[in-house]
Homo-oligomer: A and B are copies of this chain.
Amino acid sequence: MAALDRIPADIQCAQDYESLAQSFMDPAHYAYIAGGSGDDITSRANRSAFARWSICPRLLRDVRQGSTALTLAGLPLPHPILLAPVAYQALAHPRGELETARGAAVLQSPMIASTLSSHTLEEIAEQAGPLRWFQLYLQPQRDVTLDLVRRAEAAGYGAIVITLDASIQLPSRHALRAGFKMPADCIAANLRHYPQPAEPPAQAGESRIFQGVMRHAPLHADLEWLLAQTRLPVWLKGVLHPDDARSLQSLGISGLVVSNHGGRTLDGALSSLTMLPQVRAAVGADYPLLFDGGIRSGADIFKAIALGADAVLIGRLQLYALSVAGALGVAHLLRTLHEELEATMALAGCATLHDIRTTTLLRAD
């Protein structure tokens, strides 16, 4: 079904976009987006981790001056909901990231445009509000990486978000069984005009993984090089281990995103919510920390903040809303999540995000 040009009538909560999207997407595309990798163990764990925490409501708290505003690494934001970088949004909507960008702007949500976007970062920038960041995959050739950074700077992106956890990705078995194949016309618009590097032929005894796929995986030196090339704040996405978090913090990284790539890389990695408190403890209370992985509601956002996040990224829901109603869907999704967060705060007796951070969640029954 083609995307609507209005907000769908029967959306009662943010998560309703998940089921509604099935009528708006090619089934194989939906299976790909909804799935993780392998048997979806990690993407399911991301969800079930939220069910293990409960909120204990408080009474008689004055929330009449309540607000979800925050300052994130110096940037004032009206609410803690960002759009995660999601590749190839043309899978969900013909105009893909262009619609997403317009929807994000309405709600003043920072949008993080992917290196692998279906439209170029320049095209996206034209549609986006001022809160736009650029997600960077380090490329095999440093000059290409550098060119991407320069283009992002020129197009007014306010930060670089390097993704580190996705050296190997495969669609889930479920998506493969549903017949998912990346469509031929679904390309990484940003990279279209760069020359493909010549790869040396594989030597006998070489591993397709270690000496193949991983040959260009980023290392510390690449990161240090990159940090020296730009004055934009640089974030890192894909951290789970507290030691990695500490190590990246000490490099001068502006902030981290606790994430397992939505369960799309190592199936069997543990949920990002489980690691969040440890990562927060590792980096200290004031270091900018984002979270993604499994958020479907304002109550989930509340829990992520209570467990240590400053703000959260929305991945799959973003694509679902995009497929249903383009920019309108994305904006409505964000508004709905925002209001769900506010309602949860009101019932929990929290007037500010700081109140959430000082709330103790209890293990669910």
Where the two chains meet, the residues of A that have a C-beta atom closer than 8 Å to any C-beta of B are 12-13, 16, 38, 41-42, 45, 48-49, 51-52, 54-60, 62-68, 164-165, 167-168, 170, 173, 176, 207-211, 213-215, 217-220, 223, 236, 238-241, 243-244, 247-248, 260, 265-271, 273-275, 297, 299, 303, 339, 342-348, 351, 362, 364-365
How many angstroms from the CA of A267 to the CA of B54 in the assembled complex? 9
> In the bound complex, what is the Cα–Cα distance between A167 and B26 (angstroms)?
41
Contact: B55 with A173, CB < 8 Å? no
| Distance in angstroms between the alpha carbons of A145 and B343 in the assembled complex | 25
CB <8 Å contact, A266 and B167:
no
Complex Cα distance, B365 from A45, in Å, reads: 6
Q: Which 3 A-B pairs have the closest CB atoms?
A: A66-B210, A54-B270, A209-B342
Contact A12 B266 (CB under 8 A): no
A248 contacts across to B, CB distance below 8 A: 59
Q: Among B41, B64, B214, B269, which residue has its beta carbon within 8 angstroms of that of A51?
A: B41
* Min C-beta distance of A240 to chain B, whole Å: 5
Distance in angstroms between the alpha carbons of A321 and B51 in the assembled complex: 32
Since A13-B173, A59-B236, A217-B346 are in contact, a sample of 7 more A-B pairs with Cβ atoms closer than 8 Å, ordered by chain A residue number, is A55-B269, A55-B270, A56-B240, A60-B164, A64-B215, A268-B344, A269-B347
Q: How far is the CB of A320 from chain B (nearest CB, A)?
A: 16
The number of times this chain is found in the oligomer is: 4
Given known contacts A210-B66, A217-B63, is B241 in contact with A58 (CB within 8 Å)? yes
Nearest Cβ in chain B — how far from A17, in angstroms? 13
By a CB distance below 8 angstroms, the chain B residues around A303 are 268
Taking CB atoms, residues of chain B closer than 8 Å to A41 are: 51
Contact of A351 among B210, B236, B240, B347 (CB under 8 A): B210
- For residue A40, give the distance in angstroms from its CB to the closest CB of chain B: 12
Closest to A302 in B: B268
Give the nearest-CB partner of A251 in chain B: B60
Closest to A222 in B: B60
Q: Is the CB of B59 within 8 A of A38?
A: no
A66: B residues at CB distance < 8 A: 207, 209-211, 214
Say how far A364's CB is from chain B's closest CB, in angstroms.
Answer: 6
Please pick, from B63, B241, B362, the residue contacting A57 in the complex, using a CB distance under 8 A: B241
Smallest CB separation, A216 vs chain B (Å)? 9
A365 — which chain B residues lie within 8 A by C-beta? 45, 48-49, 52, 270-271, 273-274
Chain A to chain B contacts (Cβ below 8 Å), 13 pairs: A41-B51, A54-B269, A55-B270, A56-B270, A62-B219, A63-B217, A168-B343, A168-B347, A209-B339, A210-B345, A266-B299, A268-B299, A274-B362
Bound-state CA distance A345–B317 (Å) is 31
